[in-house]
Amino acid sequence: MTVRLLTDSAACIPQEEVDAYGIHVVSMVIVDGDRAIPELGMDLDEFYAHLAHIDYLPTTTQPTPVLLHDEFMRILDAGDDVLAVFIPETLSGTGAQVVLTAEHLIAESPELADRIALVDSQSVCMQQGYTVLAAAQCARDGGTLAECVAAAEATKLRTRFIFAPRGLSYLERGGRIGRASALLGSVLKLVPVLTIEDALATTFSKVRTYPKALMTIKDKFLADVNASGGLKNVCVHFIVESQEAAAFCKNVIEPLAGFAVKLIPASPVVGANVGPAIGLVYETIDPIAPLHGGVSMRGRLSDVHLPDLSGLLGRRESENGSALTVNSNSEPTNPCPKEAQ
């Protein structure tokens, strides 16, 4: 008996690593009119070309309960334990559905309680992916289910995802910022630099040009690595901006990392609502300090009146999904986005 990892496609784990560790991945789904398009196997160039010519945003839908049930049972029936690491409930109804599926399986067969574990990834893209891979490495080394959970939880404390959208039009189109804010941002050439902390999307910084945004990402990367015991993993994410992302990766990040850095397209359920963007996910040796002096984002926001804005993966999920709200920093009038699914 071993531990098998189950996750969703928002984790963006490269296929060679999925295959190497035997990770089970369920696909998030983009809903565009009467078409439901699984992320896995999607032609990204065609998808983003389509988005550039429409004035609305597709929605997303979570994997069906039947699909999740079947994926759990494929692993359990093979005699293995399941560790499910999924997109957080703050960003998608998928997380809640995974919990319900696990609870249903255990209610039907109480002996499965010791063979199923769940970890909320607290993020998306390879910040989620590194959490999955840490647990998968532990499993391959013979770790128990509890040890794999511990490896995943420890990795969450050592990672950061920081990224910059090229413009504000997708965020406006999705209803996450108003037309006036988008116009003001465009006139002033404001570029938001975003991050995710405590499963909430927040604005890390606002700068005046895109090159400055990329240098802000680089500077934060260096500061975190130097303060947190050194670098373990890093990858560059991109949405549409493949050539500039490749140059940023080769000319800026790789010389700092000292090894080849993977260039990974971001999940379409993120990309559809953020638009062209470049970002960085990295894992350090020691835990990374929270952005806000040790006070969690949830704690900071508990007493702050927030505008009714929806967030990072989109305005809503269709049918089986849930509305999403991702909170901003403590500036309620901040013209930069608060993203969701």
pLDDT tens digits, one per residue of 119-147:
999 999 999 999 999 999 999 999 999 99
d(CA 181, CA 186): 8
If you average pLDDT over residues 74-90, what whole number do you get? 94
Instruction: Specify the 3-state DSSP secondary structure of 338.
Output: coil
DSSP symbol at 7: E
Q: Find the mean pLDDT for residues 57-66.
A: 82
For the chain, give me the number of helices (H) and strands (E)? 13, 13
Mean pLDDT of 188-207: 81
Backbone angles phi, psi at 135, to 5 degrees: -70, -40
Supply the mean pLDDT for the chain. Answer: 81
- Cβ atoms < 10 Å from Cβ of 306: 13
| Residues 6 or more apart whose Cβ sits within 8 Å of residue 302 | none
Q: How big is the CA angle at 120 (ends 115 and 121), to the nearest 5 degrees?
A: 120
Neighbour tally for 289: CB within 10 Å: 13
d(C-alpha 165, C-alpha 276), whole Å = 6
Tokens for 230, please give them. Answer: 């050194």
Terminal C-alpha separation, the chain: 36
> Which pLDDT tens digit goes with each residue over 7-53?
999 999 999 999 999 999 999 988 888 888 898 888 888 888 887 77
**Strand positions, DSSP E, 158-294:** 159-165, 191-197, 200-207, 231-239, 262-265, 277-284
Going along the chain from its start, the domains and CATH numbers come out as: 3-28+63-156 (3.40.50.10440), 159-301 (3.30.1180.10)
